[in-house]
Amino acid sequence: MKILIVEDDFASRKFMMDYMSKYGECDGTVDGKEAVEAFMMAMDDEEPYDLICLDVMMPEMDGYQVLKAIREIEKEEGILAKEQVKIIMMTALSEEKNVKKAFEMGCSVYCNKPVDTNRLEDAMKKLKLL
Ligand SMILES: [Mg+2]
């Protein structure tokens, strides 16, 4: 599968890139703006991502804004719900209101940080990516 890792923190990004590379081809972006660009580029190339691991706290464009932008682009392109990219939101913020907000905005699964790889694997199974 094709995976996009969106994470502003170098150590977290490196960890995710290394860990997720056993599941597929990984690209990494350092901020939200770059993430939306990578998403659009992959779609234009007709090789869209299957999964986006999306950090929430990022400067300028945060994870919620990226999520919103991606779901809007998919809507404009007429992409069916079942064909939408799976998005796992990664965050240290585990308050219920944040979880609720992310789901309302079209996030597929929510993972707390620091990342528990067993839970991440469970999340991918739940999304039928594994
Ligand atoms: Mg961050």
Cβ-contact 35, 67 below 8 angstroms: no
Q: Find the 24 Cα to ligand 1 centroid distance in Å.
A: 23
Residue 105 is predicted with a pLDDT of 84
Residue 107 is predicted with a pLDDT of 83
CA–CA distances in Å: residue 92 to residues 39, 58, 81:
24, 12, 27
Q: How far apart are CA 73 and CA 99, in angstroms?
A: 22
Residue linked to tokens 């400067």: 59
Q: Find the 58 Cα to ligand 1 centroid distance in Å.
A: 5
Q: Find the 69 Cα to ligand 1 centroid distance in Å.
A: 18
Residue 94 is predicted with a pLDDT of 65
Domains defined for the chain, CATH in brackets: 2-126 (3.40.50.2300)
Q: Find the 88 Cα to ligand 1 centroid distance in Å.
A: 14
Q: How far apart are CA 33 and CA 126, in angstroms?
A: 28
Q: Find the 111 Cα to ligand 1 centroid distance in Å.
A: 13
Task: Give CA torsion, residues 42, 48, 52, 54, to 10 deg.
Answer: 40
CA–CA distances in Å: residue 21 to residues 5, 18, 30:
10, 5, 17
Q: For the chain of 130 residues, list the mean pLDDT of each consecutive stretch of 10.
A: 97 97 98 98 97 94 95 96 93 76 85 91 94
Residue 75 is predicted with a pLDDT of 96
Neighbours of ion ligand 1 (CB under 5 A): 8, 55, 57-58
DSSP assignment letter at 85:
P
